[in-house]
Structure 1
Amino acid sequence: MHLRDVVSSLDVEYFDPPYGEFTIARILKATEGRKTPVFRGVGDGFTGVGNLVDTRAKLFAFLGVSSDEEAYTKLLSAVENPGRAELVSTWRDMYREVDSLRKLPMVRYYEKEATPYITSGVVIGVGPQGVMNASIHRFSPLGDRRAVVRLVPRHLYQIYKTNLRYGRETPIALAWGVHPLVLLAAATSPPYGVFELDVAAKLMGGLKIMAMDNGAVAPFMASVVIEGYLTAELATEGPFVDIVGVYDRVRKQPVVKVERIYVLREEAYVHYLLPAGLEHIMLMGFEKEAKIWKLAKSAVPGVRKVRLTRGGFGWLVAVISLDKSVEGDAKNAILAAFAAHPSLKIAIAVDSDVDPDDPVAVEWAIATRLRADRGLFIIPYVRGSTLDPVALNEEGLTHKIGIDATRPLDADPALFERARIPEDF
């Protein structure tokens, strides 16, 4: 599906040139949670768009669901029982080729970023025995036909390192400007060998893909497709703002040798994803929230609601509301959360009368229901998130905190009742 057709279903606000260096970033920030900005004339034949799934309402509309539980169930079911993307044979006439990455309308988002980036590119890599992986990676140009891509130690990294051991470069295709459910699927973490575009096919009721000359594939009608290879060469990558809103450290990362750059002939819509913005948080964290919900609920049937919080950038902090039947239920739910999402740093359990979406209510629960001697515990020296600035090493080694802010069952419930002003009658 053309991204233009996706945008037509949203509440949009249009913008026109000229664009200053950080104009697009400022507009994305100003409109997130409200409007979907459309940036006309960002380049020759290009239109930009952002904030496609910056709210649950937008994501639920694309998924065709009306509640957290429906969304979690549909997403996890697609991961566990993916569909099959359909290969199309005719696509080249729909695309034009450009000869330089610098002709693509990439932008900088924050003042200390070294270079313009593609922040919503889905990279499809090909591993041994034809195993394919699709995941979202930031991508920045080094020249007309060279770029650097940030790899984290997950499946594409595993494919890349395995190919290097055999003396092979890794064939890739980067797709920029795709359906939001392709992005959601690419942000999931299925078992190795499960192809995320097949997950997207299940979510969307079908997905067409096109074969590249190097053996990779890309979603049909992606606005931009960059075909190339991950090489053994490394180059400096960063600084770049990651999910927690601080500048990620500068590293040596793999260089992409670009073979071809395809652009849709019919108005290519490219997707500007604001780093550390609400859309970044939603895409990166939603599947992890679903996994926490599933595992915590299996451990404690009284679990009512789960949130990876906005203050934790949808990644490092979780709040779980529950009705506990025995003491220890809250801690079991917290431990399940850490198991479901290993990058999680802080997990807080609250009673079901506390809304996890309300940070003041969560703080109130901590203030009035936490007894630190029995409700606060630390799990030392465990693998956490590489995005945590105070992690003990680059692998994310850290100490994790569990907070049981539920009322003690042996205490008088009246002591914990929230006072309310009645409606007029």
Structure 2
Amino acid sequence: MLRSTLSFLRERKLLLECNKEVDYIYEMGAVMSYFNNKQPILFNKIKNNPFSSIGGLYGDREIIYSLLGVTHENRIERFMDALVNPKPYKVVKTGPIKENILKRNIDLPKLLPINKFQERDSSSFITAGVMVVKDPTTGKFFTSIRRLQVNGGNILSALIASPKLTNDFLSLEKQGKPLEVAIVLGYDAPFLMASQYSSATYGIDKFEIDSNLRGSPLELVACETVDLLVPANAEIVLEGKIVPGKRELEGPFGELMGYYGAQAPHPIIEVSCVLHRNNPIYQTAFPCREEHVSNGLIREVELYYHLKNQLDVVDVNVTEGGGYRFNAFVSIRKQREGDGKTAILAALGLNKDLKHVVIVDDDVDIFDLQDIEWAITTRSQASMDYVIVEGALGSSLEPSHDLRGVTDKLGIDATKPLKDKNGKFSRAIIPNYDKIEISRYFPNI
């Protein structure tokens, strides 16, 4: 899993290795942030801890593409195929994850280099952990990235924001029962991407989605103290239970859009066992950055197919600046004058999170902000092409929503008119520009 990923990155000179001692309190996060959390960095020497740590691993969509063997052009089809054609996983007797099994005297702050990232964060947080649960009704395995506040000893606070996961826990809590969980650290790109499909929407076993994405059965082993399966080749696994009737204050915490989330009581996990490989590599992620890239990729799949039912869609970009959640750019092949506004209405109706959408023609690069700005400037007029929806559902992950508890949404139709007899909206073209090989002119470039 992770170790083969690091070998892949090393071979392609995509991995930085830091051999200077670094503090996992603030300093490590500052180094990752210097590279905008898009550079995989292996920290080999960590202050007051014998483990190494990997950060910034999945913060660049191009790296995710490479690790999965997909291209930008076929990504949407490939991710949809994993959903509609899940493949079986494989349960094995044991694996490297069981090289070390700790069941007594568990002290997570002493054992792991768990980062504290930002000034007002309430504690150290596990930010890259993939939580494994079993659906209490179907027995299917679901995975998702959850942030976990370290409360000391073997206790974590769990932010289980998912409505389905929350309802499952509350249902068990009413019966006085705990929810068994396992937290996986040190995984590869297929395991990450599988965790980003909505459990509530699709109900597909995430291990089976993973097996499709990796092209072979995901190998799993049974946990020691809970009735769950975890990857045999992961680096670290924390087994435990979200216990009924207990809450502890969690937060503040530097949230998705760079603001602090409020403090609130959340359920706690009592960790009963720690599994880890020899010389394990602790996986970290700067909060609400790199894990949202993968989530944005799945949101692009959903947006693309939602629009495709009504329009000739070229591509979609759920943007980095919008937290891979709030803003989207869509390119279409316009067939009718109403296509732009139809695309706006459809996009804004997909989910409550999407706040702004820009629709452009297929001659605009939706991954180039300058091109988007150009299209808005030259192909739209506010009185005719801006669609504002007042007082809609929104997300408290962006603070302006909380001013009223609702969100105004905006769509911009930046497509050119179909009736353009004089070619006023045709872009200027340099003949044979695409055939220029700049190295012929400047051999040193």
Flag whether TM exceeds 0.5 (same fold).
yes
Q: TM-score, normalised by structure 2?
A: 0.87
- State the alpha-carbon separation in 1 of the partners of residues 162 and 367 from structure 2: 31
The aligned counterpart of 1:88 is 92
- State the alpha-carbon separation in 2 of the partners of residues 60 and 131 from structure 1: 27
Change in CA separation of 1:413 and 1:261 when aligned onto 2, cut-off 3 Å? farther
* 1:112 partnered with 2:124: no
**Matched letter for residue 166 of structure 1:** Q
- State the alpha-carbon separation in 1 of the partners of residues 192 and 49 from structure 2: 25
* 1:398 partnered with 2:402: no
The aligned counterpart of 2:40 is 36
**Matched letter for residue 414 of structure 2:** A
Aligned ranges 1:278-317 → 2 under 5 Å: 279-301=290-312, 303-317=313-327
RMSD of Structure 2 on Structure 1 (CA): 2.3
**Kept after mapping to 1: 8 A contact 2:39/2:60:** no
2:374 aligned residue (364, 372, 382): 364
1:244 aligned residue (248, 257, 266): 257
The aligned counterpart of 2:440 is none
User: SS at the partner of 2:399?
Assistant: coil
* 1:14 partnered with 2:27: no
**Matched letter for residue 249 of structure 2:** T
Change in CA separation of 1:25 and 1:418 when aligned onto 2, cut-off 3 Å? same
**Kept after mapping to 2: 8 A contact 1:27/1:37:** no
Higher deviation after alignment, 124-133 or 243-252: 124-133
**Matched letter for residue 134 of structure 1:** T
- State the alpha-carbon separation in 1 of the partners of residues 226 and 380 from structure 2: 57
Aligned ranges 1:273-352 → 2 under 5 Å: 273-277=285-289, 279-301=290-312, 303-352=313-362
The aligned counterpart of 2:395 is 385
The aligned counterpart of 2:242 is 230
- State the alpha-carbon separation in 2 of the partners of residues 420 and 375 from structure 1: 26
Structure 1: gaps of 5 or more residues: none
**Kept after mapping to 2: 8 A contact 1:132/1:193:** no
The aligned counterpart of 1:163 is 172
* 1:220 partnered with 2:243: no
Change in CA separation of 1:291 and 1:93 when aligned onto 2, cut-off 3 Å? closer
**Kept after mapping to 1: 8 A contact 2:115/2:125:** yes
User: SS at the partner of 1:7?
Assistant: helix
**Matched letter for residue 232 of structure 2:** F
User: SS at the partner of 1:202?
Assistant: helix
- State the alpha-carbon separation in 2 of the partners of residues 412 and 245 from structure 1: 47
**Kept after mapping to 2: 8 A contact 1:177/1:224:** yes
Structure 2: gaps of 5 or more residues: 437-445
**Matched letter for residue 224 of structure 1:** I
- State the alpha-carbon separation in 1 of the partners of residues 113 and 83 from structure 2: 33
**Kept after mapping to 2: 8 A contact 1:127/1:170:** no
- State the alpha-carbon separation in 2 of the partners of residues 81 and 379 from structure 1: 37
- State the alpha-carbon separation in 2 of the partners of residues 280 and 243 from structure 1: 10
Change in CA separation of 1:154 and 1:199 when aligned onto 2, cut-off 3 Å? farther
Question: CA offsets, 1:2-50, max 9 Å, x none?
Answer: x122111112111124213322112212234764211003365522112
Aligned ranges 1:19-168 → 2 under 5 Å: 19-20=22-23, 21-32=25-36, 35-42=39-46, 44-68=49-73, 70-91=74-95, 93-97=98-102, 99-102=106-109, 103-129=111-137, 130-168=139-177
Number of aligned positions between the proteins: 419
Q: TM-score, normalised by structure 1?
A: 0.91
Higher deviation after alignment, 203-212 or 13-22: 13-22
- State the alpha-carbon separation in 2 of the partners of residues 413 and 27 from structure 1: 53
**Kept after mapping to 2: 8 A contact 1:245/1:275:** no
- State the alpha-carbon separation in 1 of the partners of residues 292 and 107 from structure 2: 31
The aligned counterpart of 1:407 is 416
Higher deviation after alignment, 26-35 or 199-208: 26-35
Displacement of 1:192 in angstroms is: 5.4
**Kept after mapping to 1: 8 A contact 2:157/2:248:** yes
Displacement of 1:83 in angstroms is: 1.7
